[in-house]
Structure formats: structure tokens, C-alpha cells
Chain A
Amino acid sequence: MKLLVSVNTCQLDPYIEHGADGFLLPLTSFSTDFETTYCLEEMIMIRKKYPQVCLFVVMNAMIFNQDLKEVEKILKTLETYHFDGIFFYDWAIYKIHLQNQLKTPLVWNQTYMVTNQATANFLYEKGISYGVLSSEITKDEIKNITESPMKFFMYLVGFLPVGLSRRKLLTHFYKTLGKNGKKKLLVREDSTHMPFLFHETLQGTSILYGKCFNAAPFYKELSSMSIAYGILKQDYLEKSIFLKVLSFYANEKDLEELIVETGNLIGRNTGFLARKTVFKVKKEKSNERG
């Protein structure tokens, strides 16, 4: 499994030195769920500076009619700089890509929707060679899905997305308090005290789970599956801590060390890798409302 990182700088050398095989570059105004984004010029500059490094562009925002011409222009520009792939959520990107016969590989990045092999196989046949696995499925489900010919990415480390709204949730909340709003806020769900990070941009509000995900205890098992890239996301982690975590993942030989040391640095939240979600619940009271 190669290691892909999303970072908050244009200076990639320290990360490469600590074992990163490639980078995610979220595009300003067209990506979501990332703290740091890059404008097209910065991306091109990075591409030129690091011609041998694997670089994936992230365009996972919702796209509206008025964005479509700009999206087409961006996709054509990216094509000329030979990026290694484009992460997308909105199928408009696939459609425009197809219409323009572009060659940059597309990465199916529909966040919570990459949950089964049949859909992956179908999309592979439609020319989509990569997918980013949902972070809300178990390792057993991952094993099954990765038997698809599609190549997969999965998150190994980071504060993961749990929601995206077109609403400016923080601005509106602070207006009700008669205050100028913060654009980032750590909140806790009141009954469980679970933490969430709210990040508002011009496109809306992204909500991340406030406990850092760390797949370390399952890394060996995951490495034996057909997963092309593991993603480590630096957002909200100090650079020094992130580099250490990256080093442990890159030098995976001592699994015990990886588990203990990264656990000490970023915690031991393994998400849903060993915990299955449910959807049917026992009915305790009538559903009827109104």
C-alpha cells in the first residue's frame, strides 16, 4: 500500500523524506472537507517542482450549473500537467471528462457511497479506475470490495468527514447570538459528548468527526488486501506529530510499534473497521407523527 498524504503547505520535501509516496491537493472552491486548499496556479507550481511525485487533485465539492464552464476549463488545464488523478464526487465531472475525451484518471470519491463491489465493477467498466472506500464500512466489507478490478484508496489517518451542508451553519448560529461568527468551531453533541469540527467556507459547512481516525491496529490486515493507496490527512494535526505518524506507517515492519506509538500520538479511534453500523432498530413507540 502506497501512502498518500494531504498536507497544509506547498513544501512537500519533509513529507517525502518521512515516507509519503504522493499527495492529495484539494482545489480551492471545488473541494470540501479539507482545511487547506490550493489554487490552480499553486497546483501547477507543485507539479513542476515535483515532476516525479504522485499528485492527485481533489474536486469533491457539490457542483452547480454556474460552475460547469469553470469545471471544464479546470479539467482541461489539469490534463496538460499530467496529474495522476482527480478525486470527484459530482458526476458532472465524469460527464465533462468524457465529453472532452480527457485522459487524467478519475477517482470515484463519493464519500459514504463506496460500499459495494458491484457498483465498483460497474464503474470500472465505465472507465473509472480508482475509488475511495467509504470509511463507514468494516474491514471484512473492504476485503470483499477490493476484489474488484478497481484500484482503491482508503483513509488510514485523519479527521474524517461526517457531513456537508450548503448552509453557512456557523455564520447563521452566531447571527442568532448577535456576534460575528467564527469559521471553525469544535462542538460536542450534548448527550454523548462526541466531538465534531465545523468548518465553514463560501460553499457551505463541512462537518468532521473530532476524534482522529487511526487504522494502525488493522494496518497489516489491510495491507494484505488489494488497496493501492492509504491516505493520511494532516488537517488539525501538528506537523511534527503528523510526520512521526507518517514515519511509523511508512516503516510498518514493527506493527506493535505502529499501534502503540501512533495511538499515543493521535489516539486509537478505529472507526467502523471492526464495528458494523445498523439500520433497523427495535420500535419502542409509534412512528406516527402529526
Chain B
Amino acid sequence: MIPISIELLAPAGDFERLKVNLLYGADAVYVGIDRFNLRANATNFSYEDLKEGCDFAHQIHKKVYLTFNIVFHDEDREEMEKIIEQVVSIGVDAFIVSDLYLIHYLHTKYPQKEIHVSTQESITNYEEALFYKDLGVSRIVLARELSKDEIKEIIDQTGLEVEVFIQGAMCTCYSGRCALSSYVTNRDPNRGGCSQVCRFTFDGGEEKKFTLATKDLNLVEYIKTLIDIGVTSFKVEGRMRSIYYLATVVGTYRKIIDAYYHGTLDDTLIKQSMVILSRVSNRETSTHYLLKEADENDQYYTGRQELSNQDYLGQVIGYDQEKKRIIMKERNYFKVGDVVELFTPKGKTYTFQITEIYDEKENVLDVARHPDQQLLIPFPEEVEEYSMLRKAIL
């Protein structure tokens, strides 16, 4: 087996998501605090949560990166520098930044901290990457508009760690080169206020109105290619996504990566992974720029669909050893007789039929119909907390 060197990096909007990501196989997570990151309206981390998150991650030899990637204004600077001092002492492993002064500030004041250049800078060529290398950064997050050949050339020419997005939502414009949200909703996208105007409807006087909405990115079929060309880190987008989404996506990519390094990656696993990822995404997916110039098939324009499904049935919160039952918190309706899948942080998936459902008071139920209700389901084997139950999809 080749030693695993690629990093799987996942988005954590809060402490629970951080935990789920790391348990499901992410090597590192990226998080934001209340301000100064591009998801100002996500839950984000308090200092206490961040400390707890860093401690949790470090105990299991994993990493936490802090997104500090706003384009700041003068009024932000003083508070920003104070916060940096605090979070450095908390123990984050790296800062993801875009502003050049901030890169310089971090590099000179905290030289022991890694600096990663955010995709907000939309790095599209190796000379630009070398400019950042000169400033002391160790890693660059590339623009999402690059082909695999362009990515490879940047890796070959710079020797920098290179992070690429493999899954999640895409911007219509280059990151950092869009102010649509400022103009339409007065919300500054470069300080975390993006209102996703590219998903709004526009009227160009033609027979149909249109959106600029993109399909999501999904590079599961090209993991091998990207490892082979020397990518350092695979990034999953979505700090505002649910724990079910994160568990599914991170768990799926973990299996693919491990299979690659174990020499067992095959078409069957890739096809299965495609099915799982397509069910959890609320939009269709595409490879966008990786193989060719993005075209009309990578966008919605008209007839856009935001799909939601009720696959996610609930989360395991414990196991009753005596009665051999999983204790779970319900999320979506299911009933006795349904065929379901139970998937675990350790990568196991069990398919079985629901034979009995009990509530907390041991009442027998035919159907589970109350979200957040605690339920008990017979299952012969103990499974870990944060295992999840979904409709059978494989």
C-alpha cells in the first residue's frame, strides 16, 4: 500500500459539523469565527467552540484551518488583529486568507503558522502562485476555473501545496471578481454577505427569463487523476451544509481515497459513489472546467431545479447493549417494513429492513413521523454515535 498523502479537507460551520467531518474521515476541517470570513451568516464558531474543536482534532491527529479570507476595510483592522492573536493562542493550524497585507502580517508576526491563499484570490497561473510563495504562503487554493493540465503545470512549476475543490457549489463568476450581491442586495460578498444573486432570475427580453445558476461540482471520477498530478488537498465546499450531507460526502470521498491507496479503486466503487453523491446533492453536478471549457450543460439557465429529498431518516445517538437497539433521533418519515441503510463513521454500510420501531416510552410505533423524536430500532451490532440512517439507495 502506498502511504496516504492526500488531504481530505471538509467544511465545518459549527462544532458538531467539525466532529462529524473528522469522524467520517476528513483529515482537516476549515472553519470560520463570527466575522472576517466569507460566510458571515453561517453559525460559525465561538472561541470556546474553536478551542474545543482544535483540541478534538489534535487529539486524533487532525487539523483545523481558520478562514480569514475577507477583503477587509479599514474599520475591520484593529479587531481583526486582536482576533488573530486570540485564535493563534487557541491553536489553529493554518489561516486561509486573501488580503495581501494580512498575508504579510501573519507571516511576519506568526511565522510558525501556515498561510493558505484563499480561492477568493482566484489564482489561475504559476507566476501568480510564485508571487504568493515569495510572500511566505505554504499553500494555494486554486481558482475553480482551471483544467487538470493547468492545475498540473502550476504544481510542477511552483512546488507549493495545491488545494482544489472537488465537491460542492460553484460561483458563476471568478471568486473575488463579483460584486453582484453588493449592487442588488447591498450585501458585500467580499466580506461574507453574498446573497447568491447569480441564482436570481434575470430578464433579457427574450422569450424565456434565465438564471446564471451553476450546477454543483463533483470530481469523484477524477480523484485518481488529481492525486497522480500532485494535488495536496481535496476541498469540499459547504460550511452551511447539514451533518447528513457532510457525513455522506466526506465518507464517500474517504472510501475513494483509501481505495486508491490500497489499490482497490475500481469502476464499481466510483459508480456507487456517484449514486450516493447524486442523492445527497440538491442540484445536479458536473466536472465544470476540469476536462473542458464549461458550457451550457454546466448551468441551469432555465428550468433550474433545487431538489430536496427525504433520504435522511435519522442520526444514531447511542446503542442499547441490553436490548440490542440503536437509539436515534428521527429526521424524516419512515415506517416498519422500509428497507434502509445504516452508514457509520468508520465506513461501514448495513442494509436492513425495519421490523420494529419504539419510542422513548417503549410504545410500539408503525411509523416514525416526528422530527427530533428519540426512537429505538432493533439492530444486532453496536454502531458508533453519529452513524446515520437513510433510505436504501444502493
Contact = CB atoms under 8 A, between A and B. Distances in A.
Interface of A: 62-65, 67-68, 89-92, 94-96, 110-113, 115-119, 121-123, 136-137, 141, 144-145, 161-169, 171-173, 175-177, 185-192, 194, 196, 198, 207, 209, 272, 275, 277-281, 283, 287-290
A116 B73 contact: yes
Contact of A194 (B128, B183, B206, B244): B183
Given A62-B124, A279-B192, A176 B200 contact: no
Interface stretch (B169-177, B219-227, B371-379): B169-177
Contacts of B179: 111-112, 136, 161-163
A141 to B, nearest CB: 6
A177 B206 CA distance: 9
A92 B131 contact: yes
A105 to B, nearest CB: 18
A288 B243 CA distance: 9
A77 to B, nearest CB: 18
Contacts of A186: 204-205
Contact of A164 (B177, B203, B289): B177
B206 to A, nearest CB: 6
Given A141-B74, A169-B172, A289 B125 contact: no
Task: Identify which of B42, B154, B188, B192 gathers the most chain A CB atoms within 10 Å of its CB.
Answer: B188
B77 A95 contact: no
Contacts of B56: none
Contact of B122 (A62, A283, A289, A290): A62
A287 B282 CA distance: 14
22 contacts: A63-B125, A64-B150, A68-B127, A89-B177, A111-B179, A115-B190, A116-B73, A121-B101, A137-B73, A144-B74, A164-B174, A166-B294, A173-B296, A176-B301, A185-B204, A194-B183, A194-B184, A277-B193, A279-B40, A283-B41, A287-B240, A288-B241
Chain A interface mostly helix, strand, loop or mixed? Answer: mixed
Given A116-B74, A167-B299, A277-B188, A190 B200 contact: yes
B182 interface: yes
Contact of A172 (B104, B242, B244, B301): B301
Interface stretch (B59-67, B208-216, B322-330, B346-354): B208-216
A278 B101 CA distance: 22
B73 to A, nearest CB: 5
Contacts of B241: 288-290
Interface in B69-102: 71-77, 98-102
B126 interface: yes
B73 A288 contact: no
B187 A289 contact: no
Nearest to A175: B296
B131 A91 contact: yes
Interface in B177-198: 177-180, 182-184, 186-188, 190-193, 197
Nearest to A113: B71
Contact of A188 (B98, B202, B240, B289): B202
Interface residues of B, number: 84
Interface in B4-38: 13
B75 to A, nearest CB: 8
Contacts of B278: none
B132 A62 contact: no
B280 interface: yes
Nearest to B188: A277
A115 B193 contact: no
Contacts of B201: 189-191
Contacts of B197: 189
B136 to A, nearest CB: 13
B173 A173 contact: no
Minimum-distance CB pairs A-B, first 10: A279-B193, A290-B245, A92-B127, A172-B296, A277-B188, A119-B101, A190-B201, A279-B191, A91-B131, A187-B204
Contacts of A192: 184
A118 B101 contact: yes
Nearest to B298: A167
Contacts of A137: 73
A277 B128 contact: no
A248 to B, nearest CB: 25
Given A173-B206, A175-B295, A290-B241, 10 more contacts: A65-B154, A91-B127, A145-B74, A163-B178, A166-B289, A167-B298, A187-B202, A277-B182, A287-B13, A290-B238
A23 B268 CA distance: 61
Interface in B126-176: 126-128, 130-132, 134, 143, 145-146, 150, 153-154, 157, 172-174, 176
B231 to A, nearest CB: 16
B217 to A, nearest CB: 14
A111 B120 CA distance: 13
A216 B183 CA distance: 20
A196 B71 contact: no
A194 B206 CA distance: 17
A172 B74 CA distance: 40
Nearest to B17: A288
Task: Identify which of A68, A173, A277, A290 gathers the most chain B CB atoms within 10 Å of its CB.
Answer: A290
A199 to B, nearest CB: 13
Nearest to B122: A62
Nearest to B81: A118
B188 A279 contact: yes
Contacts of A64: 124-125, 146, 150
B272 interface: no
A246 B178 CA distance: 28
A67 B150 CA distance: 11
Contact of A290 (B104, B131, B282, B302): B282
A173 B301 CA distance: 6
Interface in B314-370: none
A111 B299 contact: no
